[in-house]
Structure 1
Protein backbone atom coordinates (compact mmCIF):
# COMPACT_ATOMS: atom_id res chain seq x y z
CA UNK A 1 0.00 0.00 0.00
CA UNK A 2 2.87 2.43 0.72
CA UNK A 3 4.13 1.95 -2.87
CA UNK A 4 0.73 3.01 -4.18
CA UNK A 5 0.69 6.08 -1.95
CA UNK A 6 4.24 7.02 -2.97
CA UNK A 7 3.40 6.53 -6.65
CA UNK A 8 0.26 8.64 -6.32
CA UNK A 9 2.19 11.43 -4.59
CA UNK A 10 4.87 11.30 -7.30
CA UNK A 11 2.18 11.44 -9.97
CA UNK A 12 0.63 14.45 -8.27
CA UNK A 13 4.00 16.22 -8.04
CA UNK A 14 4.88 15.54 -11.69
CA UNK A 15 1.39 16.61 -12.72
CA UNK A 16 1.74 19.90 -10.85
CA UNK A 17 5.13 20.57 -12.49
CA UNK A 18 3.69 19.75 -15.92
CA UNK A 19 0.65 21.99 -15.42
CA UNK A 20 2.80 24.86 -14.12
CA UNK A 21 5.09 24.56 -17.14
CA UNK A 22 2.10 24.55 -19.47
CA UNK A 23 0.91 27.68 -17.67
CA UNK A 24 4.25 29.33 -18.41
CA UNK A 25 3.92 28.17 -22.03
CA UNK A 26 0.44 29.70 -22.18
CA UNK A 27 1.82 32.99 -20.85
CA UNK A 28 4.62 33.01 -23.44
CA UNK A 29 2.19 32.42 -26.31
CA UNK A 30 -0.08 35.10 -24.85
CA UNK A 31 2.84 37.54 -24.87
CA UNK A 32 3.61 36.69 -28.51
CA UNK A 33 0.09 37.41 -29.71
CA UNK A 34 -1.57 40.81 -29.91
CA UNK A 35 -4.66 40.86 -27.72
CA UNK A 36 -5.64 38.38 -25.03
CA UNK A 37 -5.11 34.74 -25.90
CA UNK A 38 -8.14 33.50 -23.95
CA UNK A 39 -10.39 35.88 -25.86
CA UNK A 40 -8.84 34.93 -29.21
CA UNK A 41 -9.39 31.21 -28.62
CA UNK A 42 -12.53 30.92 -26.50
CA UNK A 43 -14.49 34.02 -27.51
CA UNK A 44 -13.31 34.65 -31.08
CA UNK A 45 -12.68 30.95 -31.87
CA UNK A 46 -9.44 31.86 -33.59
CA UNK A 47 -7.96 28.66 -35.06
CA UNK A 48 -4.54 30.20 -35.62
CA UNK A 49 -4.08 31.07 -31.95
CA UNK A 50 -5.51 27.72 -30.85
CA UNK A 51 -3.12 25.77 -33.09
CA UNK A 52 -0.10 27.68 -31.85
CA UNK A 53 -1.08 27.22 -28.20
CA UNK A 54 -1.87 23.52 -28.68
CA UNK A 55 1.50 22.87 -30.30
CA UNK A 56 3.28 24.72 -27.48
CA UNK A 57 1.46 22.67 -24.83
CA UNK A 58 2.20 19.44 -26.71
CA UNK A 59 5.88 20.39 -26.95
CA UNK A 60 6.01 20.96 -23.19
CA UNK A 61 4.24 17.65 -22.61
CA UNK A 62 6.78 15.82 -24.79
CA UNK A 63 9.67 17.33 -22.83
CA UNK A 64 8.20 16.68 -19.37
CA UNK A 65 7.18 13.13 -20.25
CA UNK A 66 10.67 12.32 -21.49
CA UNK A 67 12.28 13.85 -18.39
CA UNK A 68 10.05 11.68 -16.18
CA UNK A 69 10.86 8.52 -18.12
CA UNK A 70 14.58 9.33 -18.11
CA UNK A 71 14.64 9.87 -14.33
CA UNK A 72 15.15 6.12 -13.71
CA UNK A 73 12.72 6.10 -10.78
CA UNK A 74 14.69 8.79 -8.93
CA UNK A 75 11.79 10.96 -7.84
CA UNK A 76 13.71 14.10 -6.87
CA UNK A 77 15.98 14.02 -9.92
CA UNK A 78 12.98 13.42 -12.14
CA UNK A 79 11.02 16.28 -10.61
CA UNK A 80 13.91 18.74 -10.81
CA UNK A 81 14.82 17.51 -14.29
CA UNK A 82 11.24 17.88 -15.52
CA UNK A 83 11.08 21.46 -14.28
CA UNK A 84 14.53 22.39 -15.59
CA UNK A 85 14.16 20.74 -19.00
CA UNK A 86 10.67 22.15 -19.33
CA UNK A 87 11.88 25.70 -18.67
CA UNK A 88 14.80 25.30 -21.06
CA UNK A 89 12.40 23.91 -23.65
CA UNK A 90 10.08 26.88 -23.28
CA UNK A 91 12.98 29.30 -23.67
CA UNK A 92 14.17 27.49 -26.78
CA UNK A 93 10.62 27.41 -28.21
CA UNK A 94 10.30 31.15 -27.59
CA UNK A 95 13.67 31.73 -29.25
CA UNK A 96 12.65 29.60 -32.23
CA UNK A 97 9.42 31.60 -32.53
CA UNK A 98 11.40 34.85 -32.54
CA UNK A 99 13.84 33.52 -35.16
CA UNK A 100 10.96 32.37 -37.35
CA UNK A 101 9.32 35.77 -36.89
CA UNK A 102 12.52 37.52 -38.03
CA UNK A 103 12.94 35.20 -41.03
CA UNK A 104 9.44 35.69 -42.39
CA UNK A 105 7.72 38.72 -43.90
CA UNK A 106 5.31 40.54 -41.64
CA UNK A 107 4.78 39.94 -37.96
CA UNK A 108 4.00 36.36 -36.98
CA UNK A 109 2.10 37.54 -33.90
CA UNK A 110 -0.27 39.53 -36.10
CA UNK A 111 -0.87 36.52 -38.35
CA UNK A 112 -1.98 34.59 -35.26
CA UNK A 113 -4.88 36.92 -34.65
CA UNK A 114 -6.09 36.84 -38.24
CA UNK A 115 -9.53 35.19 -38.25
CA UNK A 116 -8.65 33.29 -41.45
CA UNK A 117 -6.48 30.18 -41.12
CA UNK A 118 -2.93 30.94 -42.19
CA UNK A 119 -0.29 28.40 -43.31
CA UNK A 120 2.45 30.23 -41.37
CA UNK A 121 0.80 29.15 -38.14
CA UNK A 122 1.25 25.50 -39.15
CA UNK A 123 4.95 26.16 -39.70
CA UNK A 124 5.24 27.78 -36.28
CA UNK A 125 3.30 24.91 -34.69
CA UNK A 126 5.68 22.35 -36.19
CA UNK A 127 8.62 24.38 -34.89
CA UNK A 128 7.16 24.01 -31.36
CA UNK A 129 6.66 20.28 -31.75
CA UNK A 130 10.06 19.71 -33.35
CA UNK A 131 11.75 21.72 -30.63
CA UNK A 132 10.03 19.63 -27.98
CA UNK A 133 11.14 16.45 -29.76
CA UNK A 134 14.76 17.63 -30.08
CA UNK A 135 14.93 18.48 -26.39
CA UNK A 136 13.31 15.15 -25.51
CA UNK A 137 15.94 13.33 -27.56
CA UNK A 138 18.69 15.27 -25.79
CA UNK A 139 17.27 14.18 -22.41
CA UNK A 140 17.21 10.47 -23.12
Structure 2
Protein backbone atom coordinates (compact mmCIF):
# COMPACT_ATOMS: atom_id res chain seq x y z
CA UNK A 1 0.00 0.00 0.00
CA UNK A 2 1.24 3.50 -0.87
CA UNK A 3 -0.03 7.06 -0.65
CA UNK A 4 0.62 9.52 -3.47
CA UNK A 5 0.04 13.27 -3.56
CA UNK A 6 -0.40 15.03 -6.90
CA UNK A 7 1.08 18.55 -6.79
CA UNK A 8 -0.06 19.39 -3.25
CA UNK A 9 -0.63 23.08 -2.41
CA UNK A 10 -0.38 23.24 1.38
CA UNK A 11 2.78 22.34 3.31
CA UNK A 12 0.88 21.64 6.54
CA UNK A 13 -1.25 18.98 4.87
CA UNK A 14 1.80 17.28 3.38
CA UNK A 15 3.47 17.34 6.79
CA UNK A 16 0.44 15.74 8.42
CA UNK A 17 0.33 13.07 5.70
CA UNK A 18 4.05 12.43 6.20
CA UNK A 19 3.30 11.80 9.88
CA UNK A 20 0.49 9.41 8.90
CA UNK A 21 2.80 7.60 6.47
CA UNK A 22 5.52 7.26 9.12
CA UNK A 23 3.13 6.04 11.83
CA UNK A 24 1.51 3.46 9.56
CA UNK A 25 4.74 2.55 7.73
CA UNK A 26 3.23 3.42 4.37
CA UNK A 27 5.46 4.82 1.60
CA UNK A 28 4.51 8.27 0.29
CA UNK A 29 5.02 9.56 -3.25
CA UNK A 30 4.99 13.31 -3.87
CA UNK A 31 4.39 14.30 -7.49
CA UNK A 32 5.92 17.70 -8.23
CA UNK A 33 5.61 20.58 -8.58
CA UNK A 34 4.20 21.55 -5.20
CA UNK A 35 2.61 24.87 -4.32
CA UNK A 36 5.46 25.42 -1.82
CA UNK A 37 9.14 24.54 -1.46
CA UNK A 38 9.51 21.03 -0.05
CA UNK A 39 12.19 22.38 2.26
CA UNK A 40 9.66 24.90 3.58
CA UNK A 41 9.83 25.28 7.36
CA UNK A 42 6.04 24.82 7.63
CA UNK A 43 6.44 21.33 6.17
CA UNK A 44 9.19 20.43 8.60
CA UNK A 45 7.18 21.83 11.51
CA UNK A 46 4.03 19.95 10.49
CA UNK A 47 5.86 16.64 10.05
CA UNK A 48 7.69 17.29 13.34
CA UNK A 49 10.18 14.56 14.15
CA UNK A 50 8.18 12.04 12.08
CA UNK A 51 9.43 13.42 8.75
CA UNK A 52 12.73 11.55 8.91
CA UNK A 53 10.89 8.28 9.61
CA UNK A 54 8.64 8.59 6.55
CA UNK A 55 9.56 6.74 3.34
CA UNK A 56 9.06 9.59 0.85
CA UNK A 57 9.78 9.51 -2.89
CA UNK A 58 9.64 12.62 -5.06
CA UNK A 59 8.74 12.52 -8.75
CA UNK A 60 9.48 15.35 -11.20
CA UNK A 61 5.98 15.09 -12.69
CA UNK A 62 3.09 12.69 -13.23
CA UNK A 63 4.81 11.04 -16.23
CA UNK A 64 7.83 10.15 -14.08
CA UNK A 65 5.55 8.79 -11.34
CA UNK A 66 3.60 6.69 -13.88
CA UNK A 67 6.78 5.32 -15.47
CA UNK A 68 8.07 4.16 -12.09
CA UNK A 69 4.68 2.72 -11.07
CA UNK A 70 4.35 0.73 -14.29
CA UNK A 71 7.96 -0.45 -14.13
CA UNK A 72 7.45 -1.74 -10.57
CA UNK A 73 4.23 -3.49 -11.58
CA UNK A 74 5.98 -5.19 -14.47
CA UNK A 75 8.89 -6.31 -12.26
CA UNK A 76 6.51 -7.64 -9.61
CA UNK A 77 4.12 -9.24 -12.10
CA UNK A 78 1.16 -7.01 -11.21
CA UNK A 79 -0.09 -4.81 -8.43
CA UNK A 80 0.42 -1.05 -8.16
CA UNK A 81 -3.23 -0.33 -9.03
CA UNK A 82 -3.88 3.41 -9.02
CA UNK A 83 -6.85 4.40 -6.83
CA UNK A 84 -7.84 8.06 -7.33
CA UNK A 85 -9.57 9.73 -4.39
CA UNK A 86 -11.88 12.35 -5.85
CA UNK A 87 -15.14 14.05 -4.91
CA UNK A 88 -16.38 13.04 -8.37
CA UNK A 89 -15.55 9.37 -7.87
CA UNK A 90 -18.03 6.80 -9.12
CA UNK A 91 -17.22 4.19 -6.43
CA UNK A 92 -17.82 4.73 -2.72
CA UNK A 93 -14.88 4.01 -0.41
CA UNK A 94 -16.73 1.25 1.44
CA UNK A 95 -17.46 -0.53 -1.88
CA UNK A 96 -13.80 -0.86 -2.91
CA UNK A 97 -11.90 -4.08 -2.32
CA UNK A 98 -8.33 -2.98 -1.71
CA UNK A 99 -5.17 -4.98 -2.44
CA UNK A 100 -1.78 -4.60 -0.71
CA UNK A 101 -0.09 -3.14 -3.82
CA UNK A 102 -2.62 -0.32 -4.31
CA UNK A 103 -1.56 3.32 -4.55
CA UNK A 104 -4.02 5.81 -3.06
CA UNK A 105 -3.70 9.05 -5.05
CA UNK A 106 -4.93 12.40 -3.74
CA UNK A 107 -5.02 15.68 -5.68
CA UNK A 108 -4.35 19.33 -5.05
CA UNK A 109 -6.26 20.94 -2.22
CA UNK A 110 -7.30 23.78 -4.56
CA UNK A 111 -8.23 21.79 -7.66
CA UNK A 112 -8.31 18.04 -6.97
CA UNK A 113 -7.03 15.65 -9.61
CA UNK A 114 -7.06 16.77 -13.25
CA UNK A 115 -8.94 14.66 -15.79
CA UNK A 116 -5.80 13.22 -17.42
CA UNK A 117 -4.69 11.87 -14.03
CA UNK A 118 -8.13 10.48 -13.16
CA UNK A 119 -8.19 8.76 -16.56
CA UNK A 120 -5.07 6.76 -15.58
CA UNK A 121 -6.69 5.42 -12.39
CA UNK A 122 -8.17 1.94 -12.29
CA UNK A 123 -10.72 3.08 -9.70
CA UNK A 124 -12.08 6.56 -8.82
CA UNK A 125 -13.19 6.58 -5.20
CA UNK A 126 -15.39 8.98 -3.27
CA UNK A 127 -15.47 9.21 0.51
CA UNK A 128 -19.11 9.48 1.68
CA UNK A 129 -20.16 12.85 3.12
CA UNK A 130 -23.39 14.50 4.15
CA UNK A 131 -25.33 16.30 1.42
CA UNK A 132 -24.16 19.85 0.78
CA UNK A 133 -20.46 19.29 1.48
CA UNK A 134 -17.94 19.00 -1.34
CA UNK A 135 -14.65 17.91 0.19
CA UNK A 136 -12.61 16.96 3.25
CA UNK A 137 -9.20 18.24 4.28
CA UNK A 138 -6.51 16.41 2.30
CA UNK A 139 -4.89 14.88 5.40
CA UNK A 140 -8.26 13.77 6.75
CA UNK A 141 -9.17 12.13 3.42
CA UNK A 142 -5.79 10.38 3.30
CA UNK A 143 -6.27 9.03 6.83
CA UNK A 144 -9.81 7.80 6.19
CA UNK A 145 -8.93 6.06 2.93
CA UNK A 146 -5.63 4.60 4.12
CA UNK A 147 -7.26 3.35 7.32
CA UNK A 148 -9.92 1.49 5.34
CA UNK A 149 -7.36 0.09 2.88
CA UNK A 150 -5.05 -1.12 5.66
CA UNK A 151 -7.99 -2.58 7.61
CA UNK A 152 -9.09 -4.60 4.58
CA UNK A 153 -5.58 -5.81 3.72
CA UNK A 154 -4.54 -6.39 7.34
CA UNK A 155 -1.69 -3.98 6.67
CA UNK A 156 -1.59 -2.03 9.93
CA UNK A 157 1.81 -2.20 11.67
CA UNK A 158 2.00 -4.54 14.65
Normalised TM-score (structure 2)? 0.28
Instruction: Looking at secondary structure, tell me which structure has more helix per residue.
Output: 1
Q: Whose Rg is larger?
A: 1
Larger RCO of the pair (alpha carbons < 8 Å, separation 6+): 1
Normalised TM-score (structure 1)? 0.31
Instruction: Looking at secondary structure, tell me which structure has more strand per residue.
Output: 2
